[in-house]
Amino acid sequence: MSAMTEIIVIRHGQANSTAKTEEDYDRLCPQGHQQAQWLGETLRAQGYAPDRVIAGTLRRHRETAEGMGYADPLVLDDRLNEMRYFDLGDGLLAIKGVPLPTSEKEFAQHFPQVLRAWKAGVLDHLHKPYAAFQGDAVSSLLDHGAQVDRLLVISSGGIIDALVCDALGLDMQDMVGLLPHVLNTSLHRFVIKDGALRLKTYNATPHLDHADRLHAKTEV
């Protein structure tokens, strides 16, 4: 095994952005399937061949791996599941009367409030605490990465930014600014060095950096 395990973490393809519940959001839209296909083709054209492919247990994670052509075999790990944003939002509404957003502008204002309440422990009765969420994500990569040289991971934006915050020593508050801008099917490269994550690439989209594909760079 090499001295440093290489890890690529992918955010899932665009999901059902008009959803109002966790369950309704958890499926790729047609453009999400196309994003995944383009990414898989790009990685194979580069000769990329992971030793292991892992994903969260959510439908959008599995559909992204399948669309990329990297789902056989696929190891599922629920430590890579996204925060349940709608549950957190419902909790904030019940506790503090903060309404759920109905537009992208409202979402930009709502999301930081949800994260701050989550970190403060106000919503721990509804959701895994943030520290456990981040710790589980990091331990998943370290556990699987210790066994292979090349690890491919399909997960979600919240997981990715929790990993980035760990690798760069950032506070959860920094995640507020990062998370809304993680592109669908974006690529994030990490290495494991001396038992810790190190970040090499953030939010890359080589499969979408073409004039006829720029429309497919989506965040929501």
Residue 172 tokens, joined: 């959860």
Q: What pLDDT was estimated at residue 138?
A: 98
Q: What pLDDT was estimated at residue 179?
A: 67
168: left (phi over 0), alpha (psi -120 to 50) or beta: alpha
Architecture of domain 5-83+129-216 in this structure: 3-Layer(aba) Sandwich (3.40)
Place of tokens 């995944």: 36
Q: What is the pLDDT along the chain (220 residues), one digit of tens a residue?
A: 446 899 999 999 999 877 888 898 999 999 999 999 999 999 999 999 999 999 999 999 999 999 999 999 999 999 999 999 889 999 999 999 999 888 778 877 888 888 889 988 899 888 899 999 999 999 999 999 999 999 999 999 999 999 999 999 988 777 776 766 899 999 999 999 999 999 999 999 999 999 999 999 998 8
Q: What pLDDT was estimated at residue 21?
A: 84
Confirm if 85 and 114 have CB atoms less than 8 A apart: yes
Residue type, 105: K
3-state secondary structure of 160: helix
27 Cβ neighbours under 8 A, 6+ residues apart: 15, 16, 59, 60, 63
Confirm if 101 and 220 have CB atoms less than 8 A apart: no
Q: What pLDDT was estimated at residue 100?
A: 87
Q: What pLDDT was estimated at residue 1?
A: 40
Q: How far is CA 186 from CA 9, 109, 196, in A?
A: 8, 24, 22
Report domain extents, the chain.
Answer: 5-83+129-216, 85-126
Q: What pLDDT was estimated at residue 22?
A: 86
